[in-house]
Structure 1
């Protein structure tokens, strides 16, 4: 069987099982194309993988150093002409010395995600998962409340404020004065319909101004309300513009209630984007694609008949006219984030309360730590996941903290983690402890897909994943471009990821949890 893989040329060889490559496999799964899907790793997901504790430790060891060498300041550094910089670096893992006694379970009881992005219910990704029928294999969980941390509050227990995000929410909250409520309601009403002919004159011409300035001048929002609105944008640099900010808040508000009361975003159980990648790969396999993990591919040559020859690490050689890969080298001066993943010894129940009647119990909560106005420090976001996500055992939580990379980024993340745990601990109770930590830096490759065509031979390289905390629909555009490249002249937009249930598969209603 293995020897026969090289007998006939493949219509496409896809290298890597990251989300974009996997969605491409899903899009091609009904095309009758001969597809060979490889991954040099022995796990699915590539840059969006989810790891057990043992796997996370091995991954951290592989990505421990600065590939450019020499800089120990943790500042984001550009690759030199003589060195390549992987998009992941400075990784390390830590286990509490008394972890076993404090409740840390066996390694495979955990599934720590490299891409813990929330997905707004109005995301195009959700639309594609529904139209391709792949959504039936994904268990979606509700993302619940968004909070803002106020370091100036009198005591730790009052430093978390839940952000109201609906009309009813605003009226019921006791933390906002009546006059401020009217200003906030005016803004919420505006942003729901901000791109209408009636509302455009209010903001057009100011698209590139800071959103915070716009909120103050046009809607008279005070500093507290501005923190609420800016927190909902999930921006990591604190410099959200009016144009981008209004679009982001509009998506947040219009996503609220789409799949049920009380939530505007979802999160795939068992490891976020990694789970979607695996579901997409399974669809590719059902459609006839051949999968080979732990298999590297090296371009051998471009033969005279217009085919690329690839030497595989298992000793085989294969031929194809289309090769799809991914970019794993950081671009010069690329934006970089620092992430701290912490497994804590408490379910942190106060963050997962049901606020709206009839809403599902949320599995994810988001906490924003605003940046400092006195320094260049950007905001920190903590995405808190309960045991219901399948990423940790019941009775524990996983917290993903993210900020822009800087010399003190790790210290700031550690401080935010301590402040968060103190804020959710009731008076007289013991503060939860961290059982395990994983930290790393992540950068971006070039943001455009790399496409090369030599006659009938074509290569396509996806850009690295977005650093956004919410799924960026723009990555779907490159998936469509790769699909068109493989399908060729027969590509029909109307058929892109629009499938019927396979014969013999029941059309059951696997809804959103």
Structure 2
């Protein structure tokens, strides 16, 4: 196969969420983009797979540099001594296409960069969501193993599981976060900002251990007990701003697997603007040409070579091609233990009955059963199960998320550990798996329809050593550290995509106008964008009568147009920049407009 066009402004390797956002933004800005993925499906490490694709994925991995100790089984259809399955059980094979099992389960904050990016890019029209209906913190209590976490101030007043004292302390904290005083307080006391959040809640706000768990792990979704106060407070602020935007929840759950659909939506947006996509073709080589002016890329099954001025790729692909940078040394690596379960019943979420009477601590009154939700999150605080040192999150997705057939539920289990942890994934997660199964049934536990466990190494971001090259790690990194929380993945992907977008613009900017160094060019770009936004706001506020003379000429007589054309020529002479998801055809984007709630939930 040959291509009509062989040179592109940017070549992107892998259709992961971050790369797909970059692709859509660049295509909208008018750059030519070629996007290549060795898989025959979109989203790469963010993909949502059918059962047969998941089985093929597990079999093809074996043990790689990133994913190891993969163990996939179908306990309800196989014997205990069966070897690794070679095909799907007949009972599941007939429903294969009804599954969308995510390799990167995510919660989308209702307010933040990811939802704003969806709206500004118009990709929100391709995506549908469900609200996260329930969040619970697991406890060691035999009568109330799950404690519901209030989503809003109204829920705090209504709940019967908190005493009046606990409610006052919680409301005082939320009001403090809402005043923004905590920003200046933490700036004046940096030692407090870097203090573990759980210690801060216990000492500064005199909260009980149960309330600390609810706030730190149920509201802020802290992944470890050492997460700093500054990070957790910012997440609590975002939580408060998100509740109520689309309903009584701070998070949205994407349908059809979530992040995979978003990645495919951004790829569709890029294709509409002229982006070229090649799936199921592996990149065999990528190197700088003899003059070191562009990249030469060889693609399996494509005649000749493709050239590009700039390359963006997943760090794993770049490493395989031998053009990735070296990761930082001396930093402790992180490992994620992951598990995926498919069960034929939901977790028995409960709510306190209206007759419950609060006590001085969390109420242990007998709960009343609630209708099973389609989505739910259970958080096991550190030390709450099998001496786990970090938080374990369990995300439940039912039929309403289009992740599985009717009457079934998919459970995504995740916890973080050090790479010095020598436990297998099954050893680390089996106690949690057993507890999840126990939470779904009052009678004798029945085995899962599917169980998958594996270890995933979280790479540290590596600095690019080659010119005009951007490396994108997975999980994404918005700073110098990767983001592993399921509530932060999407926002981190947007932050990183925006950084790569402006890096590419800076690489293309002329040195005589914008500066000689990369930092100077970035500064010029952001200053120009701000000037353009101020000018657009000024024009929108201008009175049409300003252009009307004594002869009665109005705004449609050509005078206004000539004035606007003159201003546009002056602006172009100063240099124009197309911002992140702003149109290049002069509509100015929507950056100075109030964002509408364009996502469908």
TM-score by length of 1: 0.84
**C-alpha separation in 2, matches of 1:420 and 1:376:** 15
Gaps of 5+ in 1: 68-84, 356-360
Partner residue, 2:132: 143
Contact 2:169 2:205 in 1 (8 A): yes
Say whether 1:109 aligns with 2:89.
Answer: no
Contact 1:267 1:364 in 2 (8 A): yes
Shift of 1:318: 1.1
Of the candidates 401, 426, 431, which is equivalent to residue 389 of structure 1?
Answer: 401
Of the structure 1 ranges 430-439 and 373-382, higher mean CA displacement relative to structure 2 is found in 373-382
Of the candidates 271, 289, 292, which is equivalent to residue 257 of structure 2?
Answer: 271
1:14-63 CA distance string (max 9 Å, x none): 11100111001110222332211100122111111111111111111222
Partner residue, 1:339: 338
Partner residue, 1:3: 2
Of the candidates 183, 202, 205, which is equivalent to residue 169 of structure 2?
Answer: 183
Q: Which has the larger radius of gyration?
A: 2
The 5 A counterparts of 1:10-49 are 10-49=8-47
The 5 A counterparts of 1:46-195 are 46-65=44-63, 67=64, 85=65, 87-98=66-77, 106-151=95-140, 153-155=141-143, 158-195=144-181
1:147-171 CA distance string (max 9 Å, x none): 01112x134xx21110123222222
Q: 1:388 to 1:172 in 2, by over 3 A?
A: same
Contact 2:298 2:306 in 1 (8 A): yes
- The count of corresponding residues between Structure 1 and Structure 2 is 472
Contact 1:15 1:37 in 2 (8 A): yes
Task: Please give the root-mean-square deviation of Cα atoms over the aligned residues, in Å.
Answer: 3.1
Say whether 1:469 aligns with 2:486.
Answer: yes
**C-alpha separation in 1, matches of 2:597 and 2:199:** 46
Partner residue, 1:241: 228
Of the structure 1 ranges 382-391 and 96-105, higher mean CA displacement relative to structure 2 is found in 96-105
| Residue aligned with 1:206, SS | helix
| Residue aligned with 2:192, SS | coil
**C-alpha separation in 2, matches of 1:166 and 1:204:** 29
Contact 1:56 1:93 in 2 (8 A): no
Of the structure 1 ranges 11-20 and 328-337, higher mean CA displacement relative to structure 2 is found in 328-337
Shift of 1:255: 1.0
**C-alpha separation in 1, matches of 2:351 and 2:30:** 45
Q: 1:376 to 1:52 in 2, by over 3 A?
A: closer
| Residue aligned with 2:134, SS | strand
Gaps of 5+ in 2: 79-88, 320-325, 355-371, 476-482, 511-524, 534-578, 588-595
Contact 1:193 1:199 in 2 (8 A): no
**C-alpha separation in 2, matches of 1:449 and 1:125:** 25
**C-alpha separation in 2, matches of 1:223 and 1:305:** 60
Partner residue, 1:371: 382
Q: 1:351 to 1:469 in 2, by over 3 A?
A: farther
Partner residue, 2:357: none
Of the candidates 455, 461, 465, which is equivalent to residue 441 of structure 1?
Answer: 455
Q: 1:194 to 1:510 in 2, by over 3 A?
A: closer
Of the structure 1 ranges 488-497 and 417-426, higher mean CA displacement relative to structure 2 is found in 488-497
The 5 A counterparts of 1:170-319 are 170-195=156-181, 205-231=191-217, 232-260=219-247, 262-297=248-283, 298-304=285-291, 306-316=293-303, 317-319=305-307
Shift of 1:131: 0.9
Q: Which has the higher helix share?
A: 2
Higher relative contact order (CA 8 A, sep 6+): 1
| Residue aligned with 1:29, SS | helix
TM-score by length of 2: 0.72
Say whether 1:479 aligns with 2:493.
Answer: no
1:357-382 CA distance string (max 9 Å, x none): xxxx9642110111118956222110
1:449-475 CA distance string (max 9 Å, x none): 53632xxxx222112223221134343
1:209-239 CA distance string (max 9 Å, x none): 1111111111110011011112133233321
| Residue aligned with 1:20, SS | helix
